[in-house]
Amino acid sequence: MEMDPWGSELVDYSKLFSEFGMQRMDEGGVEKAVQILNRSRLFRRGIIFAHRDFGKFIGDWENGKPIVAMSGIKPTGEFHLGSKLTADELIFMQKSFGAKIFYSVADLEAYADNGQALSESNKNAVLNVADLLALGLDPKNAHVYRQSEKKEVLRLANLFARKTTMATLKAIYGERGIAIYLSVLNQAGDILLPQLPEFGGPKSVVVPVGADQDPHIRFTRDIAQKFEEEFGFKVPCATFHKFFRSLNGETKMSKRDQMNVMTLSDDEGMLKKKIANALTGGRATAEEQKKLGGEISKCVIYELMLFHFYEDDSELKKMHEDCTGGKILCGECKKMRLEAISRWLKAHQEKKKKNITKAESMLTDD
């Protein structure tokens, strides 16, 4: 079983524990914080389903030590539901555990991987950070930066290169160009940045990622160990979430497939069109559906509400019951969910607009 962090293949999660050594959420010390974690729909609903060493982060939190949650974005477009999911987890960590947030706008990766000019990335970066703020990020306990402006990250990448063999890079990432390998080193720099003396030294850092990003995590954990003596790095922890499917249900949601990705900037017309085309678990005929209920495990609309748009479990439960009990048909159901999502999006877009100036200043100050 291979995992390709740049691919969009769906993965059999059960193998991740046995073959890749991820830990379950009820082990490794994480269980101690279950009550707090379950305040987040992501943990409560098993969307975040595995981790590496997250118990150490929880332990440091218990002991009042400084903790960091970090992530980043390749600024090639607007926030979509995948970027939102990671952001939601970061913001939860900030609110509920007092974690400081580090967020890297990986403009150099956008150049390496997509050839996107840094100036273009900078425009998107402002929008992305405004999304973060609108989702609830507290700018006072956060450090947001562009990779191309962060010499500490680029310097770390250079240092890490000396203890990274081509064979390792090929084994994890396949035959790639030097720009992609350099992106990998930069990303390790982003993850380990919060532990530099400039940022208060070694500490527990958790990185929320999709399960398919585990190769990056394992690579960075190896690097942290190799540079333990020099920097005192703690091995970074990670939480893993299931990834959200594309709206047609066929692959992981990706920016590369515009009509099958939902972005936080979609307007009502676009949203309507996308929901109309999204995959459901509808049966062949209305009659059959009323009799057997919908196949909800296939339904992307249900996933939308489960992952993102119903905070309240009772609303979700009702949707589930109505569907599987055959009480509602897909057309009517879609209409209801469209309304809920549309309301959420409008409110979000309002908040986002108000945060553009703040986002600009956060990116300039860094």
Binding site for a copy of itself (CB under 8 A): 108, 111-112, 115, 117, 148-151, 154-155, 157-159, 161-162, 164-166, 169, 177-179, 181-182, 185-186, 230
Q: Where are the strands (E) in the chain, listed by range?
A: 23-24, 48-52, 67-73, 100-105, 142-146, 204-210, 237-241
Kindly state the smallest distance separating residue 225's Cβ from a copy of itself, in Å.
17
Kindly state the smallest distance separating residue 213's Cβ from a copy of itself, in Å.
21
Kindly state the smallest distance separating residue 229's Cβ from a copy of itself, in Å.
11
Question: Do 142 and 94 touch, CB atoms closer than 8 A?
Answer: yes
CA–CA dist 299, 97 (Å, integer)? 33
The CA-to-CA distance between both ends of the chain, in Å, stands at 41
Residue 23 or 121: the one with the smaller Cβ distance to a copy of itself is 121
Residue 108 or 296: the one with the smaller Cβ distance to a copy of itself is 108
CA–CA dist 127, 95 (Å, integer)? 22
CA–CA dist 184, 358 (Å, integer)? 30
Sheet with 142-146: strands ordered across:
23-24, 48-52, 237-241, 204-210, 67-73, 100-105, 142-146
Kindly state the smallest distance separating residue 116's Cβ from a copy of itself, in Å.
10
Kindly state the smallest distance separating residue 53's Cβ from a copy of itself, in Å.
27
Q: Where are the strands (E) in 85-141, listed by range?
A: 100-105
Question: Do 189 and 154 touch, CB atoms closer than 8 A?
Answer: yes
Residue 26 or 175: the one with the smaller Cβ distance to a copy of itself is 175
Kindly state the smallest distance separating residue 148's Cβ from a copy of itself, in Å.
5
Q: Where are the strands (E) in 133-266, listed by range?
A: 142-146, 204-210, 237-241
Q: How far is CA 280 from the centre of its chain?
A: 24
H helices then E strands: how many in the chain?
A: 18, 7
Kindly state the smallest distance separating residue 183's Cβ from a copy of itself, in Å.
8
Query: What backbone phi and psi angles, to 5 degrees, belong to 53?
Result: 55, 20
Kindly state the smallest distance separating residue 358's Cβ from a copy of itself, in Å.
24
Structure token pair of residue 80: 């979509």
Name the strand (E) or helix (H) holding 148: none
Give 144's DSSP letter.
E
Residue 81 or 224: the one with the smaller Cβ distance to a copy of itself is 224
Residue 147 or 239: the one with the smaller Cβ distance to a copy of itself is 147
Strands 48-52 and 23-24, bridge-based pairing: antiparallel
Question: Do 334 and 301 touch, CB atoms closer than 8 A?
Answer: yes
Kindly state the smallest distance separating residue 179's Cβ from a copy of itself, in Å.
4
What is the amino acid identity at position 57? Answer: F
Residue 141 or 158: the one with the smaller Cβ distance to a copy of itself is 158
